[in-house]
A and B are shown apart, each in its own frame.
Chain A
Amino acid sequence: MNNKKYWQNFGDLTQSERFQEDSKKEFKEELLPLEDLDSKGLLDAKTPRRDFLKYLGFSTAAAALAASCEMPVRKAVPYLHRPDDLIPGVPNYYASTYVNAGDAISVVVKQRDGRPIKIEGNELSTITKGGTSAQAQASVLDLYDPTRLRHPLQKSGSDFKEVTSFDAFDKMVGDAIASVAGKPLVLLTSTINSPSTLDIITAFLAKYPGSRHVQYDAVSYSGMLLANEACYGKRSLPVYQFDKAKTIVSLGADFLGTWLNPVEFSRQYADTKRIIGEKPELSRHIQFESMISMTGSNADDRFVHKPSDTGAIALALLAKVGGAVTAPAIADAKLSKGIDLAASALNASKGSGLVVCSSNDVNIQIIVNAINEAIGAGGNTINWAATTNSRKGIDADMVKLVADINNGSIGGLLVYDCNPVFTYTDGKKLGEAIAKLPLSVSFNLTMDETTEQCKYILPSNHWLESWGDAEPRSGYISVIQPLINPLFKTRPFQTSLLKWSTSATATVAAKDSTGKAVAVVAPGVPHDVYETYHKNYWLSKLGSTDSWDKALQDGVVEPSTPAVSAASYNASNVSAAASKIVSKAGAIEVVLYQKVSIGTGAQANNPWLQELPDPVTKVTWDNYAMLSPDLAKKLIGIDVAHNQREADAYEVHPEKPVLKITLNNKTIELPALIMPGMQNATIAIAVGYGRASISNTDREANLDRIGRAAYGAGKNAYPLVSFDGSTFIYNAVATVEKTGDTYPLAQTQVHGFTEGRPIVYETNLASFIANPEALLEEPNEERKKLVPTGKTDYIRDATIYPNYAKPGIKWGMSIDLNTCTGCSACVVACTAENNVSVVGKTQVQRAHEMHWLRIDRYFVGDLENPDVLFQPMLCQHCDNAPCENVCPVAATNHSSEGLNQMIYNRCIGTRYCANNCPYKVRRFNWLDFTGSDSFPNNQEPIRNVDLDEAVFQMNDDLARMVLNPDVTVRSRGVMEKCSFCVQRLQDSKLEAKKQQDPTLVRNVKTACMQACPTNAISFGNVNDKDSDVYKIRNVEQTNRNFYVIEQLHTLPNVSYLAKIRNTDRKVETDEETQEEKLQHQKSES
């Protein structure tokens, strides 16, 4: 029996009064102003009659107006000269690479009528294998960001003026460079992993002796780089192979969400979590962390510790796996048990264990290297034959640069693809110093905090407008090709460097694969344009036009047989490092982290990412101070776990008490978010929020420059970072006090209630192997009960409704809860594919978010360290759908292919369907979020009242270019929901009919499925016995396959595969929950 309690928040846990009350209501708010009718009665009401007449009059007039009899004259403007490879209405796909500050993900971009509108993973890349992240999915919207700079600029007083031509700009900067001769130029960039760009930078530096290139990562990996230099003599990061690991121990590293290359790691990790065969082998994932991260939520066993204990844990682990160090005593009994567990698991899987650690402390990373050497990870799970090139920044270099800028010893600063004024710990001071430099040039795309302080601005192209290349792993090239002409008067950063460092006729030297210098440009060819340079560069490297064309088509150039090897290890630093690890413990400690959606904040002005709920906290649009219920009791005096009234008071309203947190002599005020699973003395704060100009406090200016989505979202936590003399440190001892203020947080859970119904099933690996049928015994028994005596078929007989045939295709989806990590790439993919509206923080607070697909997060068990389950929840396309029966106008009905169809033009907005949906997946357009109503300017009156600025950003003509023309943009007053990407299904059927090949509809890809980095989602025609979904449901995974609340006989077309945890703990339980004990006691007495 699975009577374990899965809870979404504290009210759900304690079954508080308000929670039970709310769970009975489908819609949060009261309906104004006709609500008076209910209580007072129609005759007694004072205003409703008038209001009623007003509404009646208005709607009649409005209907007449909207349906005005004049038909507009529409124009059809064909091309003047149609490009050969473009058929209007047919999308083209091109391989390219999503790049963002060192990250590189091979992608395939969908281009429709010349506009890139959707990003998919490139399956030919052996690194990501077609996976994407939420940020990669969302980056197509960055192309159409209204804050992008539209032409070169030059500082003029406190403002900027346009520079009319690139030539004029080149001359101006050329003169400025000449005038600072003698003082060094510094090129400050994010990590560059493009080989051709690195060559251009080398040539540029050679032209200006004394100049240097500093790579700076907003969130630093210096500790690892330096530790690897100490241990392996290489200042680089190895290639991690989670797919080869049987035991994974992570010390705070959120490797599925934000650490290094999460897409690559998610793919590998999922491979070790797939249930194959009768005796599946799963990896064992043990997480030690201070806060509750997405990766920690997926761990088989999770232990919490103070941030300052990371070193001690690493030492203890090293000691237990055979290292010659003395480990400090661990006071916490649970934690020391955890260390024992991790050590024994690692010892049991020598050669196939892997330890990763997020600490930026060099000494701790040296210890982690020692552990990995002790367990034989090198050459197995850690591959040194190639390096990971996504992070190269060395903190000391940056600190030295800042000192140089501050004391004026450098001549000029050229900034590309990084925003140190925002991300550097003392950014404000740095910004002011940059403003005083004689020469400062920014190549950033928007007027961000750093760009605003520069004298000259030459915006570079967005990656979707660029040629380029990336080498995320050494030897693995991913090519960037442009999908659209530059939207604005922008120029690639590389072209600028070429123009400023070479003369147009000289030949540029590059090295071929053997290291020999070769001329890459034929004499006479202009090569101070990056496009030409780049093409010639690769032509010479790849040898022929054919291989270059193939590289462009595939998007990747990879070695055919990947080499795997260990590196020679130098253990001499270990004891010194061990002695240097000192624990700076305090009563309360703060740890800084990145949110899965926003990351470092580079894409902070992306409304899709801002509105993406954090996988664990489910908060949108803000950062906050995360703390445990215990600490909350101490600091704010709210006992959410035991006092129902206090839990309600805290949870029901979005307003949360604000804490004033002081550390490293810096102060930040943030709303408190009480999360189970937090360590009891730790507060976690996300970086990447709080984007705002340092020199301009005017709101309008900030909205225009920083962006309508980014400005006003959260507070900047980067100033809380400290420098320990060698690296940046992201945790510290803090003092905290309650301010008495409140601040609203828009949290999406709980906006739907499970009403105590069993939603998910899980067990541990040993029980599953021993008795696989026991896992789903309960729902199976329930089903049997519903079948009338003498009948056998649950689907046909357990209902009074007739059973309709699905003669051709029946679409079905299967979601594996074992491999779903909650990363939310699918949510953004769905938003992009289906034109899902952004509603803004104000509306999320009112439970009006529009996401068709959400990821529900459930806690189970111990409040201090609960297990977490993620469950993607979307329209289940029930064959016996409760929503369909209650629609008075049949606007939602069923298709013969098993789709629950939602017809917007028929919907009159009664919302009965949403009320009757047990899965709570229907979304109502409460307001005109898209500006698609017939009435002009009807959004303006509610601007900043109901509609946030971010909504207006999405309605900008530029941002609207991202809309998918095959999907209707919904207007106010209609219901919407997941359509199973019906436009893709229709398209696949059309293709199958054109080619007369029914196998083309066997496995169709929905947007969520295609985006998923772990292949957790399968989709296809269930009527086809060769389809993946049919096989999963009926052959391969019969013991894990369940439908959510199928006891209601809704007959969903989405099935789930139960979660199997590889742990010794008992996951499913026979014990009575607290609540049931109480109920029993009551009924007995």
Chain B
Amino acid sequence: MAQDGAALFKANCANCHKPDKDYTGPALKGVRAGEPSPDWVYKWIENPAGMISTDPHAKTLFAKFGPTVMTAFPQLKKEEIDAILKYADDYVPEGAGGAKAPGAATEEAGGDNSLLFGILTLVLAVIAFVLLQVNSNLRKLTDEKDGILRGEPVPFYRNKTYLMLAVLVLFTLAGYFLVNSAIGLGRQKGYQPEQPIYYSHKVHAGVNQISCLYCHGGAQDSKQASIPSVNQCMNCHMAIKEYTGEPIIKEDGKEVNGTAEIQKLYSYAGWNPDKKQYNPDNNHDGIPDGARPIEWVKIHNLPDHVYFNHSQHVKVGKQQCQTCHGNIQEMPEVHQFAELSMGWCINCHRETKVDFYNKETGEGNKFYSIYEKFHNDLKNHKMDSVTVESIGGTECQKCHY
């Protein structure tokens, strides 16, 4: 039951409530104690807007947390509400920092080795060179001893073989670096531009546990994950006026004033935090005066000839956001985590298994029931799993059209 409550809380309440402190809405721990009757909360959750006008307790709450009215959740059953509140009551704050997501640390390991190999190669090359010189001197000596006359040997820097070798090595190296840097053109791994508002995913998705899809709902419906519109930010920030959490420290060591950044949002939204209302629309353009959209700097850029669909990966492929975007919940300001190169895409498509339909158990995505051949092959153990590649996920026109 407690497990249930946690999941329900995260799915429905966590965007606005915290178990142990006031947030957009009140802290849920012990919230029942202050309510007029044990049943009050069910009515409230079913229709908050309706109660504000009539119920005195609701009026008090609205005065404290308004002007945003709580969203109605008529779909929640009484047992579920009980579970959520039990979860909140039993909640014990964890120690600082959540479980670290895997896969971040084991990155830059190859650099040292290649340097080592390089030095080793160089040393061996020098030894080989010295030995060759020794060999030629020795041969010269034996020749003299045997009385064979030979011309004065050419110095090594005019030796055509050496020169040829040197040219070849240089050409190969130059070619290698040229090709590699040409491939790297237009790729932006690690790109971390300065944004118009210092928006911290760490504060929102990490500390406050807001679900990614609350703001980036497009990720499950659309090809674009979509950046939330200003009004969506204001859903919470009408109430949250200041930043009171841990200090946010930038990469350069400076501290970010979270409250000032929220003020910037208010300026974009045309919101007057003192009066708790939007600016009037005096110039009759349908929006509050001074309101304007935020021009974020786009971090993840794909070339125009690439079609990428978020919902395909999130809804159908059931991929976690972190797979491509990294530990976003730990990034104060977002940087590009993945390479977003074609090789990177293809590798994942080769390895990832699809949620293939199992005809016996009925598990998996029923769409794949039409792959008759694979069903037979799986049965006859000709293949052990169906990857994205098997259903054509590495074919050109899956992404280029």
Binding site for B on A (CB under 8 A): 67, 69, 71, 73-82, 87-90, 805, 807-809, 893, 895-897, 899, 901-906, 966-969, 979, 982-983, 986, 989-990, 992-994, 996-998, 1001, 1021, 1023-1024
Contact = CB atoms under 8 A, between A and B. Distances in A.
Interface string B264-298: 00001100000000000000000100011111111
A696 B369 CA distance: 68
Interface stretch (B90-98, B246-254, B255-263, B393-401): B393-401
Contact of B222 (A88, A901, A968, A1001): A88
A73 B291 CA distance: 24
25 contacts: A73-B193, A75-B296, A80-B230, A80-B268, A80-B292, A81-B231, A87-B217, A89-B222, A89-B226, A805-B373, A807-B371, A808-B370, A895-B395, A896-B395, A899-B397, A901-B401, A904-B305, A968-B401, A979-B401, A990-B311, A993-B312, A994-B315, A997-B366, A998-B370, A1024-B370
B185 A67 contact: yes
A901 B305 CA distance: 14
A901 B230 contact: no
A903 B315 contact: no
B117 interface: no
* Majority SS at the chain B contact face: loop
Given A78-B226, A903-B400, A905-B305, A807 B374 contact: yes
A808 B287 CA distance: 50
The 4 closest A-B pairs by CB, nearest first: A89-B222, A901-B397, A79-B229, A82-B229
A470 B390 CA distance: 52
B287 to A, nearest CB: 6
B246 to A, nearest CB: 28
Given A73-B193, A904-B305, A998-B367, 12 more contacts: A71-B191, A78-B228, A78-B229, A87-B222, A807-B374, A808-B392, A895-B395, A986-B307, A986-B398, A990-B309, A990-B316, A993-B367
Contacts of A77: 293-296
Interface string B199-223: 0000000000000000001100111
Contacts of A69: 185
B365 to A, nearest CB: 5
Given A906-B396, A998-B366, A88 B226 contact: yes
A75 B295 contact: yes
Interface of B: 182, 185-186, 188, 191, 193, 217-218, 221-224, 226-232, 268-269, 287, 291-298, 301, 303-305, 307, 309, 311-312, 315-316, 365-374, 390-392, 395-398, 400-401
A80 B293 contact: yes
A52 B305 CA distance: 31
Most B CB within 10 A of own CB, among A79, A808, A983: A808
A932 to B, nearest CB: 8
A76 B316 contact: no
Contact of A993 (B188, B232, B365, B390): B365
Contacts of B298: 74-76
A992 B367 contact: yes
Contacts of A901: 395-397, 400-401
A903 B374 CA distance: 27
B301 A74 contact: yes
Nearest to A906: B396
A994 B304 contact: no
Contacts of B185: 67, 69
A810 to B, nearest CB: 10
Contacts of B369: 998
Contacts of A998: 366-370
Contact of B223 (A82, A89, A989): A89
Given A82-B231, A89-B222, A998-B366, A895 B397 contact: yes
B204 to A, nearest CB: 16
Contact of A895 (B217, B294, B392): B392
Given A77-B294, A80-B292, A997-B366, A807 B372 contact: yes
A1083 B38 CA distance: 106
A643 to B, nearest CB: 48
A989 B228 CA distance: 27
Contact of B232 (A82, A967, A989, A1001): A82
Contacts of A807: 371-374, 390-391
A791 B51 CA distance: 80
Contact of A982 (B229, B296, B368, B401): B401
Contacts of B182: 67
A1023 B226 CA distance: 36
Contact of A808 (B291, B309, B365, B371): B371
B374 A80 contact: no
Contacts of B307: 966, 983, 986
Nearest to A998: B370
Nearest to A970: B305
B372 A990 contact: no
B218 A89 contact: yes
B312 A990 contact: yes
A770 B297 CA distance: 72
A1026 to B, nearest CB: 11
Contact of B296 (A78, A79, A989): A78
B355 to A, nearest CB: 9
A74 B297 contact: yes
B68 to A, nearest CB: 15
B278 to A, nearest CB: 10
Contacts of A896: 391-392, 395
Contacts of B367: 989, 992-993, 996-998
A78 B373 contact: no
A816 B193 CA distance: 56
B151 to A, nearest CB: 42
Contacts of B193: 73
Contact of A80 (B287, B316, B400): B287
Contact of B304 (A76, A968, A996): A968
B154 to A, nearest CB: 37
A990 B367 CA distance: 10
B306 to A, nearest CB: 8
Given A76-B227, A905-B400, A994 B296 contact: no
Most B CB within 10 A of own CB, among A75, A76, A903, A906: A76
A740 B293 CA distance: 64
A246 B298 CA distance: 63
A808 B356 CA distance: 12
B186 A71 contact: yes
Contacts of B297: 73-76
A678 B395 CA distance: 51
Nearest to B306: A905
B366 A897 contact: no
A986 B397 CA distance: 9
A821 B307 CA distance: 36
Contacts of B316: 990, 993-994
Nearest to A1021: B370
Contacts of A967: 401
B226 to A, nearest CB: 5
A903 B396 contact: yes
Nearest to B390: A807
A81 B370 contact: no
A1067 to B, nearest CB: 40
A897 B316 CA distance: 19
A15 B373 CA distance: 50
B23 to A, nearest CB: 23
A983 B392 contact: no
Contacts of B401: 901, 967-968, 979, 982-983, 986
A80 B291 contact: yes
A968 to B, nearest CB: 5
A986 B223 CA distance: 12
